[in-house]
Structure 1
Amino acid sequence: MRIQVNAVHFTADQKLLDFIQRKLDKLDTFHDRIVSAEVFLRLDGNDSNKIRMKIFEVKLFLPGDSLFISERNQSFEAAIDLAVDRLKNLLVKHKDKQRHISNRDINRETKDSQQDLVEVDALNEDGEI
């Protein structure tokens, strides 16, 4: 998966970038068609002396759809963990929804083809073709 990381008004160190990469790569086990991810790292608060909240935002791009999650916490690592957990649940729901829609379409097509076969059988029994 291609991941683009944007750190707003600061420079993220390589350890944090590697942590993000490892965590987001694990999402491939829940949905195998993730195209890419766009990550935003932000610091919340104006005063440089205050402890700032860290904001982690990620947008996953799937074929025909995208998922967005935003989490804030005292550390980026904790925010990333929370966001990844939420993304896992969203990906499972999204995949189930897609599977349900696909199964519904297959069932509808099967019923339509069975109805066509019944109509052809009825024509054959009447001796008309």
Structure 2
Amino acid sequence: MKVSTQSVNFNADGKLIEFIQKRLDKLDLFYDKVINSDVYLKLDNTSSKQNKIAEIKVHIPKDRFVVKKQCKTFEEAVDSACSSLERKLVKKKDKKRPQSSLKFL
């Protein structure tokens, strides 16, 4: 899957970019028609420790999902956002699958 990562007001290191790519590649296990994804990493200018924001947009045919998480580290935020996306993709896949007709006696 093609992943484009943008970091706002800072430079993301290679390890973080690699972690994001590996984590988002796992989304293909839940929904195989993922086209691409956009990741936006931002630092919030607050005094709280949870000042790292990860926003992930996943594009699938005829739809897209957007999840935004704020945590202590970017890795934690990306992991949390991916967990939410996994649930959404599974729900989308189940909806798409035709329901078998129930026959009553």
Query: Common fold, TM-score beyond 0.5?
Result: yes
Shift of 1:46: 5.4
Give the equivalent residue in structure 1 for 2:8: 8
List gaps (5 residues or longer) in structure 1: 108-129
Higher relative contact order (CA 8 A, sep 6+): 2
Structure number with higher strand proportion: 2
List gaps (5 residues or longer) in structure 2: none
Q: Which amino acid aligns with 2:32?
A: D
Give the equivalent residue in structure 2 for 1:34: 34
What does 1:1-129 correspond to in 2, within 5 Å? 1-45=1-45, 51=49, 53-99=51-97, 103=98
Q: Which amino acid aligns with 2:3?
A: I
TM-score (norm 1): 0.73
**Which structure has the larger Rg over C-alpha atoms?**
1
Q: Is the 8 A contact 2:50 2:70 kept in 1?
A: no
Alpha-carbon RMSD: 1.8
Distance 1:9 1:17, change over 3 A: same
Question: How many aligned positions are there?
Answer: 101
Runs of 4 or more, structure 1, over 3 Å off, are none
- 1:52 and 1:72 map into 2 onto residues whose CA distance is 6
Query: For residues 62-115 of structure 1, what are the alpha-carbon distances to aligned partners after superposition, in whole Å with 9 as ceiling and x for unaligned?
Result: 01100110000010011111111111100000111111xxx26x97xxxxxxxx
Identical pairs, percent: 40
